[in-house]
Structure 1
Amino acid sequence: MKRLLFATFLLFYSLVGLAQPNVEKAMIKQGLVDIQKVDPTILVELKYSTTDNFVGKDVYDDLTRAYMQPMAAEKLAKASKYLQTHHPDLRLLVYDAARPRSAQWKLWNALPDLPENERQKYVADPRKGSIHNYGCAVDLTVATKDGKPLDMGTKYDFFGELAYPSREKELLEAGKLTQKQLDNRLILRTAMREGGFSPIEFEWWHFNALSREKAKMVFRIVD
């Protein structure tokens, strides 16, 4: 009986391993962690695992979980805790986290008409690697408990000045952003800064746990 139970146990875990996507296995092997195992209250909807993205197609195939380096996942959990302490009815909703370089090429090649310097505002050159490729960046928003995103003035992956944090004051004065939309962005930005993340100039949804230079010194790119 004990042998039968042990054999069943081994079979179950071997099947679990087979069911796990290869890209997830690679991320786990490199030490990345599933952010929902660090903080189960964080919501995840990987946009590049759907067709609801600027490419219009599923870029990630069977990758549906959000992975990050442990230090970055801990920072995200800290941001989540801060958000829920100050806004109990709100949650972080992750749109993208660690990204394989193979997917980075797909995103890069989806913008062939943009000049290279303009393209790099939105998609890092795969030859250099994005901070996403190191598992140290996250794209996200703030949502209600049931997953309804707050109005941030643009959708995720909007390419244009309306998404620029650096232009928000002008956009508000010009009536292109509302005060409520700006307040919602500030809720997100404040929580992420409290967690130890840094925002960037061109995308309200993107935050870095550390610089690309430091990431390259410590971690390997996920291929």
Structure 2
Amino acid sequence: MRGLYTCLYWGLVLFYGSCSSKKDDQVSLETHNNDSIIVGDIVEIEKDTISGLEKGLIYAGLVDVKSELPEVFVDLKYSTTDNFFGEDVYGPLTNCYLQKETVEKLKVSLAYLRVHYPELTFLIYDGVRPRSVQQILWDNLDKPDSIKPLYVANPQKGSLHNYGVAIDLTLANKDTGEALDLGTNYDFFGYPAYPDREAEMLAAGKISKDHIKRREILRTAMRMGGFTGIGSEWWHFNAFSLKEAKSKFEIVP
């Protein structure tokens, strides 16, 4: 597994180091006294505290969400075995990274919660996802290829997660970080997790009115920030369309 993270990091470094477009949006990464790295002119991070994968994300100009929004909680499910295929593919990565524009939109969504539901905050499950990790998820999803795209984007086409403009998250208690019950676990593959099937699942007793109410709070907050959801996952939101993402950003390989 260590080899995977090393490959991810150097792939990112080589890719972004050779890009001639969008250079104005990239963040400089340099060593400092052999013990730390400088991100732009602002943040100094001890080298030993971050993984190769995280260094690559910083080099690509992505933003650590919690550094901008300290009120949110982060529990990257793919840095644990608590995910749909039971493997850790992020290793020691614990920080969620997104494009700066995506973080700015999330600030608006969080501001909405602060005003209307001050007892709540966000609990983030996933942000940017390198395409190489997307391939692992695609390969391990036990579904026919014809319906896999309902749950995991085809890595050959690219996912909005791969551009750092999609986020998976839920609502949580602001004081404890405990997730609210929204009817299913994260990465639940079935109709009870579908926003498009909520009325049907309510009638069948698979989810409750309280689950739908909490999902509506989450959806409203995210819409206020300019995010859009999808029909098969209540936790997934996009900051841009795929066409916009391709025009604005580079894919994280």
State the TM-score, normalized to the length of structure 1: 0.92
The separation in 2 between residues aligned to 1:65 and 1:117, in whole angstroms, is 33
TM-superposition CA deviations, 1:55-74 (whole Å, max 9, x none):
10111112211000000011
The separation in 2 between residues aligned to 1:66 and 1:50, in whole angstroms, is 14
Contact (CA 8 Å) 1:26, 1:222: kept in 2 or not? no
The separation in 1 between residues aligned to 2:209 and 2:49, in whole angstroms, is 46
How far is the alpha carbon of 1:124 from its aligned partner? 0.6
Match of 1:34 in 2: 64
Gaps of 5+ in 2: 1-31, 38-44
CA RMSD of aligned residues (A): 1.4
TM-superposition CA deviations, 1:36-73 (whole Å, max 9, x none):
11111111000000111001011111221100000001
Match of 1:46 in 2: 76
Select 1:179's aligned residue among 184, 209, 231.
Answer: 209
TM-superposition CA deviations, 1:136-171 (whole Å, max 9, x none):
000000010211111111000000111000111121
Gaps of 5+ in 1: 1-8
The separation in 1 between residues aligned to 2:249 and 2:54, in whole angstroms, is 16
Partner SS, residue 214 of structure 1: helix
The separation in 1 between residues aligned to 2:61 and 2:35, in whole angstroms, is 23
Match of 1:149 in 2: 179
Partner SS, residue 117 of structure 1: coil
Select 2:99's aligned residue among 66, 69, 86.
Answer: 69
Select 1:158's aligned residue among 188, 198, 219.
Answer: 188
Select 1:133's aligned residue among 162, 176, 182.
Answer: 162
Total equivalences in the alignment:
214
Q: Which has the higher contact order (CA 8 A, sep 6+)?
A: 1
2:240 is the alignment partner of 1:210? yes
Contact (CA 8 Å) 2:50, 2:93: kept in 1 or not? no
Select 1:120's aligned residue among 133, 149, 152.
Answer: 149
Partner SS, residue 147 of structure 2: helix
Match of 1:6 in 2: none
Q: Quick check: which one's helix share is greater?
A: 1
Partner SS, residue 146 of structure 2: helix
Partner SS, residue 102 of structure 2: helix
2:129 is the alignment partner of 1:106? no
State the TM-score, normalized to the length of structure 2: 0.81
The separation in 2 between residues aligned to 1:23 and 1:106, in whole angstroms, is 15
* Amino acid of the structure 1 residue aligned with 2:224: E
How far is the alpha carbon of 1:12 from its aligned partner? 4.2
Contact (CA 8 Å) 1:141, 1:188: kept in 2 or not? yes
Contact (CA 8 Å) 1:121, 1:202: kept in 2 or not? yes
